Amino acid sequence: MSTELRFDLDRAWRVADRVAVRPEPFGALLYHFGTRRLSFLKNATVLAVVRSLADHPSARSACAAAGVGQAALPAYERALATLAESRMICERPTS
């Protein structure tokens, strides 16, 4: 399923409004108060990426800052695509 998702690493993203992020020993839980859906972040790195999206000009830059190497990037891209599809993260306008 996720391989079909498209996600633009070079755009600017942020955690969506009405989404709560709760760190857990395994990563984090995300809850969307609008869709009432729960998501699951598998490790601390993806949590760091998600939390820092709003501070970076692109998702690619957020991944790099969190220490995600080229080899691991496709996996993070898929994880972010899934989060975008479930509206946990959204694009933000850049000026």
Partner 1 sequence: MSLVEQFERGLDAPICLTWELTYACNLACVHCLSSSGRRDPRELSTAECREVIDTLQRMQVFYVNVGGGEPTVRPDFWELVDYATAHQVGVKFSTNGIKIDAEAARRLAASDYVDVQISLDGATAAVNDAVRGAGSHATAVRAMDHLRAAGFAGFKLSVVMTRHNIGQLDELKALADGYGAQLRLTRLRPSGRGADSWHELHPTAAQQRQLYDWLSAHGEQVLTGDSFFHLAPYGGPLPGLNLCGAGRVVCLIDPVGDVYACPFAIHEEFWAGNVRQPGGFATVWRESALFADLRRPASGGACRSCGFFDSCRGGCMAAKFFTGLPLDGPDPECVRGLGAEALGATDPAAVPRPAADHSHRRGPVPVAIGRPPARACDENPLAGLAVPAGRG
Q: Return the axis-axis angle of helices 44-52 and 73-85, rounded to nearest 10°.
A: 60
Within 16-92, residue ranges assigned H as helices are: 44-52, 59-65, 73-85
Residue 66 vs residues 25, 45, 46, 58, 92: alpha-carbon distances, Å: 18, 6, 8, 13, 20
75 binds partner 1 per the rule CB under 8 A: no
The span of 4-12, 15-23, 51-59, 64-72 binding partner 1 (CB under 8 A) equals: 15-23
6 binds partner 1 per the rule CB under 8 A: no
Residue in 48, 60, 82, 91 binding partner 1, rule: CB under 8 A? 82
Beta carbon of residue 42, minimum distance to partner 1 (angstroms, whole number): 6
Polymer length in residues for the chain: 95
Residue in 45, 52, 58, 86 binding partner 1, rule: CB under 8 A? 86
Beta carbon of residue 47, minimum distance to partner 1 (angstroms, whole number): 14
